[in-house]
Amino acid sequence: MQFPNAIQASAGAERADLRTDIAGVPGSATAIPIQVAPPADNAPPLDPRLRANLKYDIPAGLVVFLVALPLCLGIALASGAPLLSGIVAGVVGGLVIPLVSRSALSVSGPAAGLAAIVVAGIATLQSFQAFAMAVVIGGVLQLALGLLKAGAISHFFPSSVIKGMLAAIGVLLILKQLPHAIGYDQDNFASESFQAEGGNTFTMLAQAPQAIEWGAFLISAVCLGILIGWEKTRFAKISWLPAPLIAVVAATLGNELFKTAVPSLALEQKHLVSLPMGDGAQSLLSVLQLPDWSAILRPEVWVLGVTLAIVASLETLLNLEAVDRIDPWHRKSPPNRELVAQGLANMLSGFAGGLPVTSVIVRSSANANAGARTRVSAFTHGALLLLAVVFAAGLLSHIPLACLATILLVTGYKLAKPKIFAEMHKLGWNHFIPFVVTIVAIVLTDLLKGIAIGLAIGVLFVLRTQMSRVFDVIHEGARVTIRFNKAAYFFTQGKLVALFERLPSDTHVVVDAQNASYIDHDVAELIRRFQQSAPRRNIHVEIRGL
C-alpha cells in the first residue's frame, strides 16, 4: 500500500521522535511525530526510521481493519443508527486521529460503550440528523477540553482500576466471542454489555453448544491453531505476514472449500461479514444522513452534545492509559493532544453523518497484538475501511465471523492471563480487590458503569489506607499523647470522637500535630471543642502545632 504523495522520515541527534509527512492533497502535508522510547526488557528494538516499521505497521493495520469492520457495523446496529454511520466513524477515527494524536498504538472508532447513550439520544431527538448535530457539538467541546488541558484527569484513576479494565475487556472478549467462534451469532458481534439478545452473557454461553455450526467450529479450530502455532514456524520471521492475517485467509478459503466439497459445513451469509452494498462512492454518499443544522437551536441537542463530550473524553482517556500499559516500548501518550484529536474527529464524523468516536481498547489491543509499532497501522486501518466500503464490499462478505471471533479470543486471553491476576494478588488486597471488583463490575454491567464502580472501590481503599495510623496514642500514666503522623482529613473525625470519649478523667492530654502535613478544618474544630469541654471531666488539654 502506498500513501498519497510521499512519506518522509528524518531523525535528529537531540530528538526522540520521528516526523513523518503524509500528504492529503498535492502540495500539502501534515507532520506526524512518532514517539520512540526505550524498549521494554523483552521487546524488540524500535527502529526510528518510518520505512523500517512499515513492514510491521501495514500488516497490523490490515488485521485491525478486519476486526474493526464487523465491530463498526455491530455498534451501529446496537445503537439503532444507520449501518453506514458506524463505518463513517471508523474511517474518520482511522484517518484523522493518527494525523493529530501522539499515541503510537491507540485505534479509534465507534465505541460499544456509547451505544446506550446513542440509542437514548436518537430516541429523544427523534432524528438521526439531529443526533449528528449533537456529535458535532460534542466534538467542539472535546476540542475545547483538550486546549484547556483537561486531559490531566486521567492521572486520577488508580492503576488497579486501569489494569482491571484491561483484564475485564479480555474476559469479556472470551465470554462474548466464544459463541461466535462456534457459529452461534444470536448476540451482536460488537456487544460489550452484560445484557444480550434474549438473555445475558452467560445464557448466550449456555445456549451456544446447543446451536453449534460445525463449519464455524472447524474454522475456529484451524484459526486457533494458526494463531498459537505460527510463532513456532519459520514463517514467523516474515514481519509482514502476521498470524491473524493468515488465519483470515485460511478461514475464507476454507469456507469456500466447504461450499464445493462439503455443503453441509458451509456457513450461511448470516455467519459472515456483512457490509452495506453500493455501486461505488456516489451511491454511498447519497445515503449518508448529514446533520440537521436547524437542530443547533434545540436545548436537548446541546445537552446530548455535552453528555457525549464528557463520556467520550473519559472513555478515551481511560483507554489511552490502558493502551500505554500494553505498549512494549512504554511510550507515554499526551492526553491533551489526544482530546484535541478526538474533538476534531468527532466534529468531522458528525459532519459526515457518523457515530461518535473514541479510542477503543479492543481494536487497540488487537493492534498491539498484531505487532504494530507506530500510528501508521491505525491510519492503514482507516484507509482500508474506506476502500472496502467503496470497492470491496462483495469480497469481504466472504470472511467468516468465527475467524474474527477467534482472533479476539486470543487477544482477550493475552489481556486476562492468569499471570496478571497472580501479579496483582502479590501487590496486596488494597490493589487486588479494586482490580477484581472492576473486572466483575464491567462483565456484569458495561464498561463505563464497571469503571465507575471500580473507581469507587479504589477510592474506598485509598481512604482506608489514609485513615490507618493517622495518629498514635501513647499512654504514660496520667499523661496521654495523641501524636499525628500525617495529614488528617475530615474522615478522621469518627476515630477521634471515639478516642476522646474513651479518655479517663483526671488526665493530661497532649495533642501533638507538629508532624502532620495538613489538618482539616473540621478536625481542628473538633479538637478545639474537645479542649473547651474537657475541663468538665477534669482533663487538661495541651495542643502543639495546630
Q: Where along the chain do its domains lie?
A: 9-415, 471-544
Residue 233, pLDDT score: 84
Residue 279, pLDDT score: 58
Average pLDDT per consecutive 10 residues, the chain (546 residues; last block may be shorter): 36 35 35 44 71 91 93 88 92 97 95 87 92 97 95 83 90 92 89 80 90 94 93 78 88 94 93 74 72 94 94 92 91 94 97 95 92 95 92 85 92 91 91 94 87 89 78 90 88 87 91 89 91 92 88
Handedness of CA 518, 520, 523, 525 (dihedral sign): positive
Residue 413, pLDDT score: 93
Q: Which helix or strand (DSSP H or E) is residue 9 part of?
A: strand 9-10
The whole-angstrom separation of Cα 344 and Cα 540 is 65
Given a contact cutoff of 8 angstroms between Cβ atoms, the answer to whether 345 and 96 are in contact is yes
The whole-angstrom separation of Cα 473 and Cα 54 is 65
Given a contact cutoff of 8 angstroms between Cβ atoms, the answer to whether 120 and 131 are in contact is no
The whole-angstrom separation of Cα 447 and Cα 438 is 9
* DSSP class of 292: -
Instruction: Give phi and psi for 20, each to the nearest 5.
Output: -125, 135
| Architecture per CATH, 471-544 | 2-Layer Sandwich (3.30)
Beta bridge partners of 206: none
* DSSP class of 235: G
* DSSP class of 40: P
User: Alpha carbon of 345 to those of 3, 245, 310: distances in Å?
Assistant: 20, 28, 15
The whole-angstrom separation of Cα 360 and Cα 252 is 26
The whole-angstrom separation of Cα 119 and Cα 81 is 8
The contacts of residue 411 (CB under 8 Å, 6+ apart) are 170, 173, 362, 365, 366, 369
Sheet holding 471-476, edge to edge: 471-476, 479-484, 508-512, 540-544
Longest dimension (CA), the chain: 99
The whole-angstrom separation of Cα 233 and Cα 359 is 34
Given a contact cutoff of 8 angstroms between Cβ atoms, the answer to whether 70 and 109 are in contact is no
Residue 283, pLDDT score: 63
Give the orientation angle of helix 401-415 with respect to helix 159-181, to 10 degrees. Answer: 150
